[in-house]
Amino acid sequence: DGGITQSPKYLFRKEGQNVTLSCEQNLNHDAMYWYRQDPGQGLRLIYYSQIVNDFQKGDIAEGYSVSREKKESFPLTVTSAQKNPTAFYLCASSTTREGSGYTFGSGTRLTVV
Amino acid sequence: KNEVEQSPQNLTAQEGEFITINCSYSVGISALHWLQQHPGGGIVSLFMLSSGKKKHGRLIATINIQEKHSSLHITASHPRDSAVYICAVSGGGADGLTFGKGTHLIIQP
């Protein structure tokens, strides 16, 4: 079955370390997204990519970086420049057709200590 | 930028009750999505609609484009419906969704 795989589910890192979150999809979707969720807030867009080798900043891109070398993969790196990295991170994908539905991963909960 | 407001933020009800969750947005959209998030965190898409009404089992979603308002109804609610329900809108293209803060629903037996 097609879907999105995020790994790992839980991740612990020491402050000051970079960490990379994995997101893989086998849905043949062109567009992929990274969102951050904090308690009491709606999901916020970090980065998105509509095509391989291209990506755009979302609303809260500072302290994050991404790459899109393959259609199936859109890894997110949380750098040491991110002031409050502890959060729940969700990956999603869609086609680029207007009115396309979205498919979501199961998320990665990152805790920085 | 679209603003998405959901109400109520929290809702506790008894099993069997009819549940309504509301969503309003500020700018015209191409589609509105209702999503369900369980305690583990993963999100499931329930509905995507751009007009009218959709039904799936005990869930019904409606949208009024002129009023910029949507509702999600749950009939004969059950404890397994307990989750966070999230409204999100897309403006066309593939530049992502704008989310509401979610409604935390608890159905007590």
Per residue, what are the HEC states of chain A? CCCEEEECCEEEECCCCCEEEEEEECCCCCEEEEEEECCCCCCEEEEEEEECCEEEECCCCCCEEECCCECCECCEEECCCCCCCCEEEEEEEECCCCCCCEEECCCEEEEEC
- Kindly report, residue by residue over A103-112, the tens digit of the pLDDT: 999 999 999 9
Strand partners, B42: none
Segments of chain A with pLDDT less than 50: none
Number of C-alpha atoms within 13 angstroms, CB side, residue A109? 8
Encode pLDDT of B40-97 as tens digits.
788 899 999 999 999 999 999 999 999 999 999 999 999 999 999 999 998 766 678 9
Average pLDDT across chain B, whole number:
93
Which residues from B are below 8 Å from A30, CB to CB?
94
Q: How close A107 comes to chain B (CA, Å)?
A: 6
The closest CB to that of B101, out of A35, A41, A56, belongs to: A41
A109 at B interface, C-beta within 8 A: yes
Which residues in chain A are closer than 8 Å to B45, comparing Cβ atoms? 101-104
| Residue B103 CA to its chain's centroid (Å) | 8
Percent of chain A whose predicted confidence (pLDDT) is above 70: 97
Provide the pLDDT for residue A57.
96
Size of interface A-B (CB pairs under 8 A): 68
Q: How distant is the Cα of B33 from the closest Cα of chain A, in angstroms?
A: 8
Answer yes or no: do A43 and B48 touch at CB < 8 A. no
Q: Three-class SS of residue B36?
A: strand
Rounded Cα gap, residues A66 and B59, in angstroms: 37
Query: Per-residue confidence at B28, pLDDT binned at 50, 70, 90?
Result: confident
